[in-house]
Structure 1
Amino acid sequence: MSNELTRLTLTAAREGLAQGRFSAVELTEAYLGAIDSSAALNAYVLATHDKARAMAQTSDERRAQGDVGPLEGIPLGVKDNYATDTVRTTAGSKILGNFVPPYESTVTGKLWADGAVLLGKLNQDEFAMGSSTESSAFGPTVNPWRKTGSTTKLVPGGSSGGSAAAVAAQLCAGAAGTDTGGSIRQPAAFTGTVGIKPTYGRCSRWGIIAYASSLDQAGPLARSVNDAAILLRSMAGHDPKDSTSAPIAVPDYEAAVGASVRGKRIGIPVEYRVDGMSSEIAMLWDRGAQMLRDAGAEVVEISLPHTKYALPAYYIVALAEASSNLARYDGVRYGERVAGRDIVEMYEKTRAAGFGPEVRRRIMIGTYVLSAGYYDAYYVRAQKVRTLIKRDFENAFAEGIDAVLAPATPSPAFGIGEKSGADPVEMYLQDVFTVTLNMAGLPGISVPAGLSSEGLPLGLQLIGRPFGEEGLFSLAQVIEEAAGRFPVPEAWWA
């Protein structure tokens, strides 16, 4: 029965628990068994067996007393940059190797308050810096998908690669991730799952280890659009501990799933048809537009003229903020200390030993663009470009566009080691379709829409108005119903 339980979507599991077909303890045990037999994927960096069993037992007791939360008894995985009270939290970095927070992040606290069960912490790129989950101090996560007829190990995307792989491999009913430049949407596309980056400020960032504070946003990964809607409703909401958290009521996202999209105007940005885009992605984009037309939406071409500057501007802003945020990890205030002859050598040795090569590279670039003589030339100019990118979207919405349809990634999942060689820019180009949303603070959802010629999932991305997540869920549901869902064909790792 355990395999049958883990195959259930979050929506179906919630229904089964409500009907008494199984208990939270039974559902949790099924997932823990699946996690224990999935070491080949390296999706979890820490499985919390005892805590999960205790939380599930408590959930069953609450249900017996008629106290049922929106996520009562649902087992979830959490990306390892969310602080979890008394549970090791490392952000995938050696420098935080033994950090056990004495507090809970706001978002995970809301999940547990709604009855969810913590299965464990999920692998990620170190400090969320990456697009493949290869920079983790715990080693890379392996995508549960394989090319047809191949055993080549593929990346699950990043930085929330462990979250996406765990959801796709049925190692949790859903997962919490974070998105700074595509880190929820790109791995969702690579693994055939649904991932939403909410509007900046929709979810609290308090208790999430920062990468770039003006870009980071929490969000869920799930197996269906409805599952993602359920999770986001629990994760979202105003938090007085986060000054960037919006004091806006959280709608019932699940009620929006299945709502009519007739009459909605969907924009297709001409600038997103970049050189080198695979014909498969271009055809998928056209099919997605037709799916929305068939549901009664109007699809029109739009222009977002500053798109071509988004990627370089994003990497300047993100890396500058990373340089500032990671300055605290010095072996004195935070981090594992490496001794030196004096304080300067101690700083140097601590940071050299604690940070991996990708994080060191990003800190150095970020420090450079903030340095005297370069601040105006790089950082200030990038912030001006950011304003122009935001204005492009505002102009489109002002002209009656309800949402924008675009690819989520320029390609399907690639092999581990394939793009992590001498040229880091090749990896950075994976974010070409996703960074604009973070720069503009807009919501975006990635939904699987088809398979490549090699049998790998491909995703489409819908971009919405600020705090317009409801509309995205209704549009994404149209694509999910037309394209179908994409479960992993074979559990080769078990």
Structure 2
Amino acid sequence: MSAPTDWTRSTAAELAQALADGSVTSVELTELHLARIDAVDGAVHAFLHVDREGALAQAAASDERRAAGETLSPLDGVPIAVKDVLTTEGLPTTCGSKILEGWLPPYDSTVVSKLKAAGLPILGKTNMDEFAMGSSTEHSAYGPTHNPWDLDRIPGGSGGGSAAAVAAFEAPLAIGTDTGGSIRQPGAVTGTVGVKPTYGGISRYGLVALANSLDQAGPVTRTVLDSALLHDIIGGHDPKDSTSIDQEWPSFTDAARSGAAGDMTGVKIGVITELAGDGWQPGVMARFTESVDLLVKAGAEVVEVSCPSFVHALAAYYLILPAEASSNLAKFDAMRYGLRVVPDGDPSAEDVMRATRDAGFGDEVKRRIILGTYALSSGYYDAYYGQAQKVRTLISRDFEAAFASVDVLVSPTAPTTAFKLGEKLDDPIAMYLNDLATIPANLAGVPGISVPSGLADEDGLPAGFQILAPALEDERLYRVGAALEALLAQQWGAPLLDQAPALEGAPR
């Protein structure tokens, strides 16, 4: 039967049910989302590469399975977009950088392999800050992504492409990566749900590394339930990844469905005192306070919790991350793969390497390579990198102490709503401050989720509510996140994304 034109506005869970009861086919869903991409992505620029042929072939295979009475997963046939930092066999993987322009990986990342094994058609690869270095997706070598709520504003970063694709109804699901908030912060400013799982809970094999001890892939969706459904598919142990956690995980889908009942009786929530106050946009704080009040009315006990080392997290992070990045990016040397620039004359290998890296890397990448190399250099290692690692230990201890008395910790996800494109591009410190609330979770390896908390009074743009849980306790995110989502939906009367202004020239 013919698919209605509004399937692109449905959640992944709704699409899965529609596929199961025969209301729509995977090919129809995929065609509708490809048409939506054609209609709006010229303005949004969420995608760097669209795999029309591959997505339709995967969708047709899903329909054939379903006709035979077989499915590979609950989301079999539901389309998805993938951040361009995860390798995809035969499809370009650029990491938003000119140095990898046109590179076709010979293998799939484990996350992509699991998506294919679960039957999700992959629509394409989404835009990102170059090598995931940024908070606005303005540092992509292929141009910035625009926020569907206001095309003059940033969609967050580094995974702004994935968040914008979901917010613009170009994809019902997406994969992002979170090194210092690159799933959660874009979620906050685009009105989407973003999850950073426990470090090691999802394989990093095939994820082009920015900072090995911080990077984590995770879901980008419209609802908490959709994130749980996707997390259940891409999570789990991977022997190809030495940091992958070898344990059985509970059903996050069950946790989300349980939480959606809205009963928070017995749940103890800690409000982090260091992640509020001066410098935080009043409208963001107002939506945060309202969300906390709703959880209290639902039965939760709320207390203030101090995590004193969090005030040093930003400084520690911007020593640890550049140090790891400078090491990871050394492999882009023009000798093995990617861009190669050969200067005139009789250049040496060092000349070729220097010219290639100068042409292939953008300013932000160069800035962090220089900072990281300096921090790791002889005579400075102990003073900078070593001290930052000590602060990291203190932050982990703050989390341990806090979780000894509460079940989850909460804060606004980002200090402000989306700022205008170009507003902070020439001020790296101001840009880095956008990750103030999200960075501690990456340093400690604990899981976090951002749930839309409403629209700020000042500008009518989305704000996010961050929930953090102890390592390995990701199901708490889904229970509390789903409860808050349900309580807010009752208050709003409709999903937050339904309140977004229509993209000019495109049907919504």
Q: TM-score range by the shorter chain?
A: over 0.9
* CA distance, structure 1, for counterparts of residue 234 and residue 505 of structure 2: 31
Give the 5 Å matches for 1:338-377.
338-340=341-343, 341-377=347-383
Q: What does 1:113-124 align with in structure 2 at a 5 Å threshold?
A: 113-124=117-128
1:194 aligns with 2:193: yes
1:86-106 CA-partner distances (Å, limit 9, x unpaired): 111100000000110110000
User: What letter is aligned with 2:383?
Assistant: A
Give the letter aligned to residue 93 of structure 1.
S
Report if the CA contact (8 A) 1:52-1:119 is conserved.
yes
Partner of 2:387: helix, strand, or coil?
helix
Give 1:372 shift: 0.6
User: C-alpha separation between the residues in 1 aligned to 2:249 and 2:116?
Assistant: 18
Q: Judging changes above 3 Å, is the alpha-carbon distance between structure 1 residues 281 and 269 closer, same or farther for their aligned structure 2 residues?
A: same
Separation (CA, whole Å) in 2 of partners of 1:16 and 1:491: 26
2:239 equivalent to 1:240 = yes
CA root-mean-square deviation = 1.0
| Match in the other structure for 1:217 | 216
Mapping of 1:245-284 within 5 angstroms?
Answer: 245-257=244-256, 258-259=258-259, 260-284=263-287
For residues 264 and 157 of structure 1, the distance between their equivalents in structure 2, rounded to whole angstroms, comes to 31
Query: Which residue, out of 419, 423, 426, partners 2:424?
Result: 419
The alignment's TM-score, normalised by the length of structure 2, stands at 0.94
Deviation (angstroms), 1:274 = 4.2
Tell me the equivalent position of 1:104. 108
- What's the CA shift for 1:2? 5.2
The answer as to 2:307 corresponding to 1:304 is: yes
Secondary structure of the structure 1 residue equivalent to 2:454:
strand
Aligned equivalent of 2:327: 324
Secondary structure of residue in 1 paired with 2:484 = helix
Q: Aligned ranges for residues 458-469 of structure 1 at < 5 Å?
A: 458-469=463-474
- Percentage identity across paired residues of the two chains: 50
Going from structure 1 to structure 2, the CA distance change for 1:493 and 1:372 (only over 3 Å counts) comes to: farther
Task: Name the SS for the 1:271 alignment partner.
Answer: coil
Task: Say how many residue pairs are matched.
Answer: 487
Equivalent AA in structure 2 for residue 255 of structure 1? D
One-letter amino acid of the structure 1 residue matched with residue 127 of structure 2: N
| Correspondent of 1:84 among 85, 88, 95 | 88
Q: Distance in 2 between matches of 1:449 and 1:386?
A: 29
1:493 offset after TM fit, Å? 5.2
Unmatched segments (≥5 aa) in structure 1? 147-151
SS of equivalent to 2:496: coil
SS for the counterpart of 2:236 is coil
1:213 positional shift: 0.4
Write the letter of the residue equivalent to 1:466.
Answer: A
| Structure 1 residue 434, shift from structure 2 partner | 0.4
Distance in 1 of aligned mates of 2:277 and 2:362: 32
Name the CA distance, whole Å, in 2 between partners of 1:73 and 1:462. Answer: 30
Which SS does the other structure have where 2:295 is aligned? helix
Per-residue deviation, residues 200-239 of structure 1 (Å, max 9, x unmatched): 0000000011100000000010001111110111110100
On the 8 A contact 2:276/2:411 being kept in 1, the answer is no
Q: Which whole-Å deviations, capped at 9, do the CAs of 1:57-108 have from their partners, x for residues lacking one? A: 0010111112212221010000000100111110000000011011000011
Q: 1:356–1:15: structure 2 CA closer, same or farther, 3 Å change rule?
A: same
| CA distance in structure 2 between the partners assigned to 1:336 and 1:379 by the alignment | 31
Deviation string, structure 1 residues 119-144 (Cα, Å, up to 9, x no partner): 00000000000000000011000000
- Residues 33 and 12 from structure 1, CA distance in 2 versus in 1: closer, same or farther, beyond 3 angstroms? same
Give 3-state SS (helix, strand or coil) of 1:6's partner: helix
Return the offset for 1:254. 1.0
Q: Is the 8 A contact 2:88 2:112 kept in 1?
A: yes
CA contact (8 A) 1:210 1:325 kept: yes
Give TM-score scaled by structure 1 length.
0.97
One-letter amino acid of the counterpart of residue 365, structure 1: L
SS at match of 1:335: coil
